[in-house]
Amino acid sequence: MFLNITSKEADDDQIDVLIDPYGMNVDVQNVPDKGNEANGLVENDEMYDAAVIMKKELESYGLRVEITKDSKDQVIETYGEDGRLSKGYKKQAKYYLFLRFNANPSSEANGMEIWHSSYSSATLARNMMYYMEKDKVVKAGSLYYTNPSWPGIVTTSLTQGRLDNETIYDLNLQLRESGGRATLAGRYSQTSAEANKSFKDANGMQGVELDFAYITNEEDAANWKKNKEKIVKSCAKAFALSINVLEG
Range of the domain at 118: 17-242
Residue among 225, 231, 219, 224 at smallest CA distance from 110: 219
What mean pLDDT is predicted for residues 116-142? Answer: 96
Strand partners, 42: 37
Q: Could you tell me the pLDDT band of residue 11, with boundaries at 50, 70 and 90?
A: low
> What's the number of domains the chain is made of?
1
Is the pLDDT reported for residue 228 higher than 60?
Answer: yes
Q: Which of 231, 234, 242, 245 is nearest to 208 (CA)?
A: 242
CATH number of the CATH domain containing 36: 3.40.630.40
pLDDT at 147: 87
pLDDT value of position 28: 73
**Domain-embedded: residue 6:** no
Q: Whole-model pTM above 0.75?
A: yes
173 found inside a domain? yes
Mean pLDDT, residues 203-211: 97
Asked if the structure places residue 5 within a domain, the reply is no
Residue 8 belongs to some domain of the structure: no
CA separation (Å) from 70 to 31, 52, 86, 191? Answer: 19, 10, 14, 25
Examine residue 159 and state whether it is found in any structural domain, yes or no. yes
Residue 86 counted as domain residue: yes
9 domain-assigned:
no
